[in-house]
Amino acid sequence: MDINLLVLNVGNSRLAIGVFIAGELRQVKRIPHTQRADWTGVIADAWQQLAGADAAVVAASVNPALNEAIEHAVEQAAGRDVLWVGRDIDLPIPVQTDEPEKTGVDRVLNVAAAYEQMETACVVVDAGTAITVDCCNDAGEFLGGAIAPGASTMLDALHEKTAQLPRIELTVPTEAFGKNTREAIALGVYHGIRGMVKELTENYATALGQWPEVIATGGDAQLLFGGWELIHAVSPDLTLYGIALAYTNHHLKQETEG
């Protein structure tokens, strides 16, 4: 469906803003929450691209404390109400966890977007402040997954909880052995994350009875997984596509019922 949307993804560390024109993602901006003063201006610039179009503003959030501020910024910038996935709009796939209402909406949207493209059982690794590794079956049902600290969270903890370990930026190791403290930390975090993802995917494959395709997203996805044979694709804007999918399903349902 050729939809026109302003899509907002409120994460733990930053706000992602996407502009869909005639169903195509034309622009993405990401703003750290430390720059909240810029929200209204960036949203206004994005909305301007949709000027004259029949467009909606749709959002998803894992950071409820910021939702009211987001609504205020959108009202100032676009003069529109925000439609929230999970409140105003249903999730686009069934959720088979023990408490679906407490399952992170971003996790579900990531898997829904991946399944729409793959049309088969798949795993989504979202590498941000936290790392989630989630799975759906061939029927497109969200089965659940795993949550672990992200790379920056691990690096912060090592520095803050020890007396002498420095805070480093994550890099891709080039040697098998860390010859100094910084190299040793990078090796531990980088291969620790990749080893976790491989182990979980193997466990999911055993439970499913087939090997699932693995899609990676999130701010650290390219650094951690780019070029790795385990990963089918790195899709940094997967959550934005999931939000757009939820709105599209909602719109089609309204048209059918109408």
> What is the pLDDT, as a whole number, of residue 53?
78
Residue of 2, 106, 134, 220 marked active site: 106
Q: What do you get for the CA distance between the two ends of the chain, in Å?
A: 17
> What is the pLDDT, as a whole number, of residue 166?
96
One-letter amino acid identity for 61?
A: S
CB atoms under 10 Å from CB of 15, counted, come to 26
Q: Exposed/middle/buried for 114, CB within 10 Å: 0-12, 13-18, 19+? A: buried
> What is the pLDDT, as a whole number, of residue 92?
95
Assess whether 38 carries a catalytic annotation.
Answer: no
- Could you check whether 5-84 and 100-236 share the same CATH topology? yes
Q: What is the mean pLDDT of each run of 10 residues along the chain (258 residues)?
A: 89 94 94 95 95 88 95 95 95 96 96 97 96 98 98 97 96 95 97 98 98 96 97 96 94 68
> What is the pLDDT, as a whole number, of residue 142?
98
Domains of the chain, residue spans: 5-84, 100-236
Please give the CATH number for the structural domain made up of 100-236: 3.30.420.40
Paired sense of beta strands 142-149 and 130-136, if any: antiparallel
CA 244/CA 235 separation, integer angstroms: 15
Strand boundaries in the chain, DSSP class E = 5-10, 14-21, 24-32, 56-61, 83-84, 122-127, 130-136, 142-149, 213-217, 233-234
> What is the pLDDT, as a whole number, of residue 253?
72
Q: What phi and psi, each to the nearest 5 degrees, are found at residue 132?
A: -115, 145
CA 11 to each of CA 41, 54, 163, 240: distance values in angstroms, whole numbers, following the listed order: 19, 27, 31, 11
Helices (H), 28-121: 39-48, 67-78, 105-118
Contact 200, 146 (CB under 8 A): yes
Which DSSP symbol is given to 95?
B
Kindly state the tokens that stand for 164.
């002498």
Q: Which of 189, 215, 211 is nearest to 132 (CA)?
A: 215
CATH 3.40.190.10 fits 5-84, yes or no: no
